[in-house]
């Protein structure tokens, strides 16, 4: 049906012989896109792509993934290098502004974030409406959505200053709210943020400090957590980011859009996988059970997946997983968790899966969620907080993408079409005539 006529256009010929020339738009890297915007007007035909496997929903300059090579770039910089050489807030600045900050720019940005970390005192009362055993993601969806009721002056999304304030508020307050969700779940008092601490240390402080004794920050843990934040900061047009863009495209409150992103992230096929991986490793229990577990995964009737494996875009090793695997070894050794049984199972599971024809044929490799939970658990972070930590770190990506969308003159309200296969029009049947 479609054939390239020049590097810049493709001709689509319909079954009835009508043709339409469609532009092929190049990016700076990656596959070009066939611009189908005038297809419906010219031919009366929509495109069909459930799961958006072949659809570019927007133009973006923030993040690039080469899934075949296993490369992830933020604003052109390799994720491995950013994880090694930057702080999380430096990466946040890069994602938001397009360039790495100078010392002065970074100092101002850190100050702007640090001095927005407190939440309105009334927010602490919102938590009391939740059961203590609520999942932290459920609490975060509710409380972050509720920020729209507290910071209503940010709601003019066309005002750049308002957008900047909302950006700072979200990056600053999401850790406070995540830590509050944890404290609430264990019945401990909320811990206020400390402005003398860096971003990751402050989060550890709000998670683990108690009023009756001083809390000492473990710098190994803080640096490892900061690296985990960097590795989760953005990942182009994934399900949660696309959700944030879609909600934001209606002009809705950015706090509500981020709450929707958190909801999308929660699913086990997306960010919820990090929690599921830990459950899976514990269920496997010992290296000797790996082979039988993998047999079940390969059996289609068992409806099981190897959690932390596979990715829509990566058909090679996820570079974030490679950094986390190395980091897991280092952090566990530094924290004195030598021969951690879960890490041993994970490494052996990876080794066996990567040699197994099922996984080789489908190009299934470890993804970001495979090793992150092992590090978080070694830090004493409960499994139910794993996806909340992913959400915390991804907030900058969501808000950077939201800002880009609002400023994009091409962007319209997100409104997909459908292939309708239901009933054609028919006469109404009165209730007495039904059955």
Segment 403 to 432, residues that bind ligand CMC, using CB under 6 A? none
175 or 310: whose CB is closer to ligand CMC?
A: 310
Please provide residue 225's backbone torsions phi and psi, each rounded to the nearest 5 degrees: -70, -40
User: How near is the Cβ of 422 to ligand CMC at its closest, in Å?
Assistant: 25
Number of residues that bind ligand CMC (CB under 6 A): 19
User: Is residue 362 close enough to count as binding ligand CMC by CB under 6 A?
Assistant: yes
Residue 323 sits in the site that holds ligand CMC (CB under 6 A): no
The reply to whether 369 sits near ligand CMC by the rule CB under 6 A is yes
Q: Output 180 or 294, the one with its CB closest to ligand CMC.
A: 294
Nearer residue to ligand CMC within complex by CB, 356 or 408: 356
CB 267 to ligand CMC: min, Å: 9
**CB atoms closer than 10 angstroms to residue 425:** 4
What is residue 137's three-state secondary structure? helix
Q: How far apart are CA 357 and CA 168, in angstroms?
A: 47
- Pair 21, 11: CB distance under 8 Å: yes
Return the closest-CA partner of residue 246 out of 402, 53, 48.
Answer: 402
CA atoms of 125 and 172, how far apart (whole Å): 20
Q: Is 22 helix (H, G, I), strand (E, B) or coil?
A: strand
Sole window of 255-263, 309-317, 338-346, 372-380 interacting with ligand CMC (rule: CB under 6 A): 309-317
Cα 204 to Cα 113, 132, 232, 325, 368: the distances in Å are: 16, 21, 17, 22, 21
Judged by CB under 6 A, the residue of 60, 176, 202, 238 near ligand CMC is: 238
Site for ligand CMC contains 353 (CB under 6 A) = no
Known catalytic residue: 205? Answer: no
368 binds ligand CMC (CB under 6 A): yes
Residue placing its CB nearer to ligand CMC in the complex, 309 or 402: 309
The distance of Cα 363 from the centroid of its chain, to the nearest Å, equals 22
Q: Is 308 in the site for ligand CMC (CB under 6 A)?
A: yes
Sequence-separated (6 or more) residues with CB below 8 Å from residue 274 = 308, 368, 369, 372, 373, 376, 386, 387, 390
> Does the protein bind ligand CMC through residue 310 (CB under 6 A)?
yes
Indicate the Cα dihedral angle 198, 204, 206, 211, nearest 10°.
-110
- Which candidate in 154, 198, 318, 369 is catalytic? 369
Q: Return the range that interacts with ligand CMC (CB under 6 A); candidates 182-190, 249-257, 264-272, 417-425.
A: 264-272
Task: Name residues whose C-beta falls within 8 Å of residue 84's C-beta, 6 or more positions apart in sequence.
Answer: none
Q: Which of 109, 293, 309, 371 binds ligand CMC (CB under 6 A)?
A: 309
Q: Which is nearer to ligand CMC, 25 or 360 (CB)?
A: 360
Binding status of residue 70 toward ligand CMC by CB under 6 A: no
Our CA dihedral for 260, 263, 269, 272, rounded to 10 degrees, sits at 140
Residue 141 binds ligand CMC (CB under 6 A): no
Closest CA to 251 of 343, 349, 159, 354: 159
Positive or negative: CA dihedral 386, 256, 222, 136: negative
- Residue least distant from ligand CMC (Cβ): 310
Locus of tokens 């209503």: 152
β-strands 19-25, 9-13 pairing: antiparallel
Per-residue mark of binding to ligand CMC, 267-306 (x: CB under 6 A): --xxx-x-----------------------x-------xx
Query: Which is catalytic among the residues 116, 235, 311, 337?
Result: 311
Edge-to-edge, what's the strand order for the sheet holding 71-74?
63-66, 71-74, 77-78
Q: Is residue 72 a contact point for ligand CMC (CB under 6 A)?
A: no
Q: Is 369 a catalytic residue?
A: yes
> At closest approach, how far in Å is the CB of 306 from ligand CMC?
4
Give me the 159-198 binding string for ligand CMC, x by CB under 6 A, dash otherwise. ----------------------------------------
Of residues 185, 201, 242, 367, which one binds ligand CMC by CB under 6 A? 367
Q: Provide, rounded to whole angstroms, the least separation between the CB of residue 274 and ligand CMC.
A: 8
307, 345, 346, 389: residue in contact with ligand CMC (rule CB under 6 A): 307
- Supply the minimum distance, in Å, between the C-beta of residue 264 and ligand CMC: 10
What lies within 8 Å, CB to CB, of 387 at 6+ separation is 136, 137, 265, 266, 271, 272, 274, 275
Give me the least distance between CB of 177 and ligand CMC, in Å please. Answer: 20
Note the residues at the interface with ligand CMC (CB under 6 A).
238, 269-271, 273, 297, 305-312, 362, 364, 367-369
Q: Which residues are catalytic?
A: 311, 369
């Amino acid at each position: 049906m479609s054939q390239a006529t020049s590097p810049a256009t493709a001709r689509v010929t319909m079954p009835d012989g009508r043709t339409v020339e469609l532009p092929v738009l190049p990016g700076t890297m990656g596959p070009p896109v066939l611009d189908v915007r005038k297809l419906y007007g010219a031919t009366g035909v929509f495109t069909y792509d459930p799961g958006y496997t072949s659809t570019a929903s927007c133009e973006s300059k923030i993040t690039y993934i080469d899934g075949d090579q296993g490369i992830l770039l933020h604003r052109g910089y390799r994720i491995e290098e950013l994880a090694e050489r930057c702080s999380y807030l430096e990466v946040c600045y890069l994602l938001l502004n397009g360039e790495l900050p100078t010392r002065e720019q970074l100092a101002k940005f850190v100050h702007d974030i640090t001095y927005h970390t407190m939440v309105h005192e009334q927010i602490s009362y919102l938590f009391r409406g939740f059961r203590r055993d609520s999942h932290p993601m459920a609490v975060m969806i509710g409380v972050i959505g509720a920020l729209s009721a507290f910071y209503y002056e940010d709601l003019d999304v066309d005002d750049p200053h308002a957008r900047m304030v909302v950006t700072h508020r979200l990056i600053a307050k999401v850790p406070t709210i995540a830590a509050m969700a944890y404290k609430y779940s264990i019945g401990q008092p909320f811990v206020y943020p400390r402005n003398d601490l860096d971003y990751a240390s402050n989060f550890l402080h709000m998670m683990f400090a108690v009023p009756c004794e001083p809390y000492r920050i473990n710098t190994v843990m803080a640096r490892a957590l900061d690296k985990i934040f960097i590795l989760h900061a953005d990942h182009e047009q994934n399900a949660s980011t696309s959700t944030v863009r879609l909600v934001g495209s209606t002009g809705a409150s950015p706090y509500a859009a981020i709450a929707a992103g958190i909801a999308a992230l929660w699913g086990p096929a997306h960010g919820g996988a990090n929690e599921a991986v830990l459950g899976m490793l514990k269920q496997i229990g010992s290296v000797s059970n790996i082979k039988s577990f993998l047999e079940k995964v390969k059996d289609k009737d068992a409806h099981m997946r190897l959690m932390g494996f596979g990715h829509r875009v990566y058909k090679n090793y996820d570079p974030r997983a490679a950094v986390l695997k190395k980091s897991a070894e280092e952090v566990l050794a530094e924290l004195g968790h030598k021969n951690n049984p879960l890490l041993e199972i994970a490494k052996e599971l990876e080794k066996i899966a990567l040699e197994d024809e099922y996984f080789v044929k489908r190009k299934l490799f470890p993804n970001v969620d495979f090793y992150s939970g092992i590090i978080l658990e070694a830090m004493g972070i409960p499994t139910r907080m794993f996806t909340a930590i992913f959400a915390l770190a991804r907030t900058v990506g969501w808000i950077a993408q939201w800002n880009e969308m609002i400023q994009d003159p091409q962007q319209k309200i997100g409104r997909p079409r459908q292939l309708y296969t239901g009933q054609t029009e028919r006469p109404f049947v009165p209730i007495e005539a039904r059955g």
